[in-house]
Structure 1
Amino acid sequence: MRRYCIIMGLALLVTLLLGDAVWPALAAQQKRITVTEYFVTPQGKIEKHTVRVPCPPRRVVITGSYQAEILKALGQEKRVVGVYDYTKKNQAWLGYVTRVPSIGSAATPDVEKIISLKPDLVLEWAMKPEIRSQLERAGIPVMKVYGYNQNFLANEIRTLGLIFQCPERAKAYADFIEKNWRMVSERTRKLRPNQRVKVYWESSMGDWMSTGPGSGGHTMIEWAGGKNITAPLCLANPKVTPEWVAAQNPEVVIKNVSADFGGLTKNGIGFEATRVTELASLRQQIMARSALKTTAAVKRKRVYMVSASIANGPQSSVGLCYIAKWLHPELFRDVNPEALHREMLKKFYGVELKGLWVYPLK
């Protein structure tokens, strides 16, 4: 027994002294599985790649807010050892993200910082290829998880459930999301082309930045019974001109505002009172644009704002219900997006619904 204790003590001492050397060796001994990751090209084409990842990972670095949200819903937040700047600053409602180090931006995170955290998996969504290659050369598996694209979001959630060995929780989460998507799309499926509402969707990335085929926003418009005016451009994230949008004469304008404006913010859950004033002002600015003044959308005051927290990602299950009611109120009189949102937040995140998520409310 004494010899055994001495051997174990020496082994622990070596591990402590040579931590950086032992870590890759331990990671290499982990069970790994092959899973599918998705990639959207600039032209909106969705590609599938395979990647080998540990199962389950012990230490995870995430570079996206929606990834952080999904891991919270799956009950895997204790495995996260690093998040990117935006998540730490604007997703404090998740709790755990405030207690782990930041690794910089999503596209160009601090490679040395990530390596120092000794992760056995990095989840990325916008990382530059050369950064990803650096991490992989250092022996760290990297997997792309957008966490917001409705075209394959449910698949990503179920894959993470497999990786983190919580498939039942992942299935329940994905099923809830898909149930709302299915309810909306089934009601709008039989709409004739002339019944579909022409929509100009403006991204939170900036004025006149829109959404096209391959993107989650484009899918939301179609499911909600709309016709995306930028679809013929065949670009996932097109930049359009004011004159071009005016010529398309959209019937509805939807502005996707960043989570900074509302939703689950760093100061709690929901818009603050001052945010309502800011959103009202932003809406007036949009309606006052010379290129939009004469459109059907502005004339009929069908200009809406939706928080990126529910326009994209898992909570788009709720955002879609709001958008569908804006486009086709007669088809969705019985649907209460707020009640659905309250149920989702309580069931999967353990938080209560507060504040505003869309503007205007009616």
Structure 2
Amino acid sequence: MGMNRILAKITISLLLLALALPAAASEDHTLGVFGNANEDDTINMQDVTYTELIILEYRDQTELADGKYDGRINMQDVTQIELVILGKEKELTYIDCDGDAATVNMPVEKIVVAYNNNAEMVRVLEATDGVVGVCDDILKYPVYFPDMSEKPCVGRRFDFDVEAILELEPDIVFTGTRAWYTPDLEDKLKGTGIDVVRLSSWEYNRVLAGIMKLGYILDEEENAYEYREWHNECTGTVTERVSEISEDEKLRVFVDRPGGTSVGKGSGYAETVEMAGGINLASSLGDLTYPEVDLEWVIDQNPDVIVGISFEGNYETDDVSVIRARYDEIIGTTGFEYIDAVKNDRVYVTHYIIQLGPSYPVGVTYLAKWFYPDLFEDLDPQEIHQEYIDRFQGMDFDVSEHGVFAYPPLEVS
């Protein structure tokens, strides 16, 4: 058989496969790993075919088709994609939480973890055996992180102790955005062989995107996809129902954060409020993540609902008074007695740990139940919280008996 005929058959086969390939996913659902040529939510043999079609000029180039991240799309990218599928790649390039391309050497076996939400992500992926060090935040949670809280401390997430990191000889430091986590860490670790992995654990509520990328980096894709299924089921139930509410019927919500601040775009809190069908009033105050607010502005806005954020409570205590004190503080604020939210008993307090990080779908269900109790009469946030703990945190912890997460307590039908 002549070479031209062979090439023609290959081309026809590829074209037939192309007809079956899905269109590129929306940005929110695209796996931001180079090698995801068709820009959907996974890397598989369809990406091999898609890249081959790009090479043959039957498909337009996509950014993520450059699996080798060398500025060219050729058969080396096909090989890289095949290695990623097999879990045999030597390095992996992904888009970090600040929108930059970053490359990590593979495989990753030893991890330093910054912040509690990041630690939760590692535990979702069942990769805690690789944790060799943590930042000081995790030491505050001996009940929630009994094993990781005993690991060596590498300082504060805002300013890591580089010498402590070097002593542990990790493969990666798993951290977050440069705006909140040691922005010059890459420079400080340059030449050490330690990669800095920056993924969203709460920033802009892009938690799912962060977990999916981390799943590929830690070779725990199956656990990442299991979490995604649960995540989408929880949030999908809420977003589907609140989509039926017109904008002028949505509740106007003020989020009262300690220190005279509220929450804006990128905080994670603002995004959960909106996902639950609320209008976040502080979004009108500009692009600040945590804008300062004065009492006159809040009173003038006259919110339908106030959601107080508490830094006290969580898994470390069973004393409900610590979160009730936050509730009393809010309703006792001078002038707030004139606000509809206070007059109508629509003030609620939640600990931040269920509003941010991998457990944020739990927080969304609490907010939805508070905002629209008739619409979510059948929703049990505490049951969803328990499922998260059982399935994705692997803890022997009964949230109906222990911990302080929300006030007033929900009445579940």
Q: Mark yes or no: TM-score above 0.5.
A: yes
Match of 2:92 among 30, 33, 36: 33
User: Where does the alignment leave 5 or more consecutive residues of structure 2 unmatched?
Assistant: 1-88
Determine the structure 1 residue equivalent to 2:294: 241
Match of 2:398 among 328, 332, 353: 353
The one-letter code matched in structure 2 to 1:294 is Y
Determine the structure 1 residue equivalent to 2:60: none
The one-letter code matched in structure 2 to 1:251 is D
Q: Take 1:138 and 1:55, find their aligned partners in 2: how far apart are those partners?
A: 15
The one-letter code matched in structure 2 to 1:34 is T
Q: What secondary structure sits across from 1:239 in the alignment? A: coil
The one-letter code matched in structure 1 to 2:151 is V
Q: Take 2:338 and 2:132, find their aligned partners in 1: how far apart are those partners?
A: 51
Q: Take 2:227 and 2:398, find their aligned partners in 1: how far apart are those partners?
A: 18
Q: Percent of aligned positions with the same letter in both sequences? A: 29
Determine the structure 2 residue equivalent to 1:221: 273
Q: After TM superposition, give the deviation of residue 283 of structure 1 in Å.
A: 1.0
Deviations 1:237-284 (A, max 9, x none): 2121222111111111111212xx22222xxxxx41xx3122222211
Deviations 1:194-235 (A, max 9, x none): 2111111123xx322111123311111111111110112232
Contact 2:252 2:304 in 1 (8 A): yes
The one-letter code matched in structure 2 to 1:105 is R
Q: Take 1:56 and 1:242, find their aligned partners in 2: how far apart are those partners?
A: 52
Calculate the TM-score normalised by the size of structure 1: 0.82
Contact 1:264 1:309 in 2 (8 A): no
Taking a change above 3 Å as real, the CA distance of residues 147 and 226 of structure 1, as seen in their structure-2 partners, is same
User: Where does the alignment leave 5 or more consecutive residues of structure 1 unmatched?
Assistant: 1-29, 40-47, 266-270
Q: After TM superposition, give the deviation of residue 134 of structure 1 in Å.
A: 0.9
Q: After TM superposition, give the deviation of residue 91 of structure 1 in Å.
A: 4.9
Q: How does 1:1-362 map to 2 (within 5 A)?
A: 31-39=90-98, 48-125=99-176, 126-149=180-203, 151-203=205-257, 206-235=258-287, 236-258=289-311, 261-265=312-316, 271-272=317-318, 275-351=319-395, 352-354=397-399, 355=402, 356-362=404-410
Q: What secondary structure sits across from 1:68 in the alignment? A: helix
Taking a change above 3 Å as real, the CA distance of residues 296 and 100 of structure 1, as seen in their structure-2 partners, is same
Q: What secondary structure sits across from 2:337 in the alignment? A: coil
The one-letter code matched in structure 1 to 2:331 is M
Q: Which structure has the greater CA radius of gyration?
A: 2
Contact 2:160 2:182 in 1 (8 A): no
Q: Take 1:54 and 1:293, find their aligned partners in 2: how far apart are those partners?
A: 57
Q: What secondary structure sits across from 2:201 in the alignment? A: coil
**What RMSD, in angstroms, separates the aligned Cα atoms of the two structures?**
1.7
Q: Take 2:143 and 2:107, find their aligned partners in 1: how far apart are those partners?
A: 26
Contact 1:245 1:291 in 2 (8 A): no
Q: Take 1:151 and 1:85, find their aligned partners in 2: how far apart are those partners?
A: 23
Q: Take 1:321 and 1:91, find their aligned partners in 2: how far apart are those partners?
A: 26
Q: Take 1:246 and 1:180, find their aligned partners in 2: how far apart are those partners?
A: 34
Q: Take 1:95 and 1:284, find their aligned partners in 2: how far apart are those partners?
A: 32
Equivalences, count: 314
Q: Take 1:342 and 1:150, find their aligned partners in 2: how far apart are those partners?
A: 25
Q: After TM superposition, give the deviation of residue 137 of structure 1 in Å.
A: 4.8
Which stretch of the first structure deviates more once superposed, 89-98 or 156-165?
A: 89-98
Contact 1:325 1:333 in 2 (8 A): yes
Q: Take 1:249 and 1:132, find their aligned partners in 2: how far apart are those partners?
A: 46
